[in-house]
Structure 1
Amino acid sequence: MNIIFFGSDSFSLPFLDDLNKKYKISLIITTKDKVGGRGLKVIETPTKVYAKEKNIPFIEVIKMKEYFVEIKKYDGDIGVVVSFGKIIPENMINMFPKSIINLHPSLLPKYRGPNPIRWQILNGEKESGVTIMKLTKDVDAGPILLQKKINIDEEDNYTKLTEKLIEIGKECLNEALELIKNKKDIWIEQKGEVSYAPKFDKKFEKLDFNLEGEYLKRKILCLSYEPGAYAFFRGKRIKILDCSIVDEKYDGDFGEIVFANKESFGIKTKDKILIPEILQVEGKKIMTIKEFINGYKPKLKEIFS
């Protein structure tokens, strides 16, 4: 099958690389370069970088409808979408003889939208998975060909769960393409409770120790390792990338260090004590709690705000 691949970020890349070893990728469609970082450098999407390395034709899009004629020239049998970031118009979906399929990292119809992995961790879900569905004009609402489930472990952060979903997702996507190629694909309409996973805004990354400890832990995990949940300590932004929660009572204000020793320290939340395990001071490397204590020697009654 002649595949046209739609994808733009680091989650897309392993799927693109895996498919390129087994199928003909005639075109990669990605979003435009971004400008960011120090010096406002131009940042190419990972899939664009891959396309250039492998000499695969690529198109960078802004408004999808403007590229209909150009994409049609590549005569794709099927489109594969993984974390693309643009809505594909219906006339473009209908361009493909075998339609366009989308790999979505949740058990649809739960967590439709652009941010499903983080929301599943934040909400304390016990299982996740991937769904292969047919693209329709409604976002993440098309009929399902395959789903595969995995457990979410208590210590899974965004990075770990993403890696697990990529591995099971590659298997699922290859299985789906084989079913389609052999005309054994059976599609089932989505059933069950629908929920949505919108993007977080930048304010969400800041920790509020007035909230419950278990919620704060899930928040830290869903933002780890990037972009990282943070608080301020001695005027510096400190990312907390992993933590543990203990059910103990101490007097003090929310965000206050209520115990400290050579091994660890605890921050008071609304109901429990949060112990940072992995931290990153702005401009510094990631460090363990012991390394942080050795370097900064946090004291009782100091505040993480």
Structure 2
Amino acid sequence: MPLNVVFMGTPEFAVPSLAEIVANGHHVVRVYTQPPRKAGRGQSLTKSPVHQFAEIMGLPVETPESFRKPSVIDGLEALKADIACVVAYGQILPQRALDAPTHGCLNLHASLLPRWRGAAPVQRAIMAGDSQTAAQIMQMEKGLDTGAILLSETVPIRPIDTAATLFDRLAQTGAQMWPRVLGAVERGALSPTPQQGEPTYAHKIDKAEARIDWTRSAHELDCLIRGLSPFPGAWCEMGGKRVKVHLAKPENGTGQPGEVLDDDLLIACGTGALRLLQVQPAGKGKMNADAFRQGTPVAKGETLP
């Protein structure tokens, strides 16, 4: 028997999950998402990706500024939903909201919990050089990503993965897990497994972390660049201007950290060297190294700050 489902989510990452839940015949009684925000060059109010998809599907949408308002939780309780499915919603739910659906709230998290609890698990996993991560659906409780795991799918982190490519794979993997979990809810067969191990925390990305420090190893900087691509983007200075680096490749090479080792953007690091492959000057779009060098010559022997 289909469940009455409340869905809570906001970014593109959450859309495949909502689509899969609808496609499997469950009755989505309401979608909660973040309010429209200013975006783009014109700074016009833009509905979230989940909001836009929900409207296409004819699903009722609410965009409360805060779930701490009693009236918002009153509305959630009045739905008498069987379950709430939460995917990157962007708000902390108080206990009363967690308890409102009959079977509580379930959350899709993009890490191998308890590793990388918190706001930026995908970016942190790549930045740390992890070889694998996971999509996990857990029972939500008051603590930050501390709930028992209901279903887990391990996902390898490829040497060429950026945050964007890994987000895409995890979004698809996670979406395909919802029918199995909701089927278990229908059968009364959920099997929670408490988290085990020492937790680590995926704190929000600080802008200061994005500057490339050439004294670090080429491997570390490769992980940093891929973990911050496309946003906020790791950056360095070239020709006195800030340039984001979206893709690079570790190579052999020795020199003073920041030294340009050839005419094809091979930069010496604390250990090894990094060849810059895709960059983005301030105010411009992404471009490959060849196109960049035509407008901003970077000569062998220079030292980048």
TM-score bracket for the superposition, by shorter chain length: over 0.9
Tell me the distance in 1 between the aligned counterparts of 2:128 and 2:179.
30
Tell me the distance in 2 between the aligned counterparts of 1:142 and 1:61.
25
Give 1:119 deviation, angstroms: 0.6
Does residue 150 of the first structure (1) align with residue 151 of the second (2)? no
Tell me the distance in 1 between the aligned counterparts of 2:63 and 2:104.
21
Q: What is residue 267 of structure 1 aligned with on the other side?
A: 267
Q: TM-score, normalised by structure 1?
A: 0.93
Tell me the distance in 2 between the aligned counterparts of 1:302 and 1:238.
16
CA deviation map 1:100-143 (0-9, x unaligned) = 11110111111111110011111111111111110111111111
Secondary structure of 1:137's aligned partner: coil
Matched residue count: 300
Does residue 125 of the first structure (1) align with residue 130 of the second (2)? yes
Q: What is residue 17 of structure 1 aligned with on the other side?
A: 19
CA deviation map 1:146-190 (0-9, x unaligned) = 111121111111111112212221222221111111222111211
Q: What is residue 48 of structure 2 aligned with on the other side?
A: 45
Q: What is residue 7 of structure 1 aligned with on the other side?
A: 9
Q: Choose the corresponding residue for 2:114, options 109, 116, 128.
A: 109
Name the aligned partner's letter for residue 283 of structure 2. G
Give 1:36 deviation, angstroms: 4.2
Q: What is residue 241 of structure 1 aligned with on the other side?
A: 246
Does residue 224 of the first structure (1) align with residue 229 of the second (2)? yes
Tell me the distance in 2 between the aligned counterparts of 1:3 and 1:303.
57
Q: Give the alignment of 1:63-142 within 5 angstroms.
A: 63-66=66-69, 67-142=72-147
Secondary structure of 1:258's aligned partner: coil
Q: Choose the corresponding residue for 1:256, options 259, 267, 270.
A: 259
- Greater displacement, 295-304 / 110-119: 295-304
Name the aligned partner's letter for residue 267 of structure 2. I
Q: What is residue 60 of structure 2 aligned with on the other side?
A: 57
**1:233/1:303 contact within 8 Å kept:** no
Give 1:241 deviation, angstroms: 0.7
Q: What is residue 207 of structure 2 aligned with on the other side?
A: 202
Tell me the distance in 1 between the aligned counterparts of 2:62 and 2:302.
53
Name the aligned partner's letter for residue 300 of structure 1. K
Q: What is residue 26 of structure 1 aligned with on the other side?
A: 29
Name the aligned partner's letter for residue 14 of structure 2. S
Q: Which runs of 5+ in 1 are unaligned?
A: none
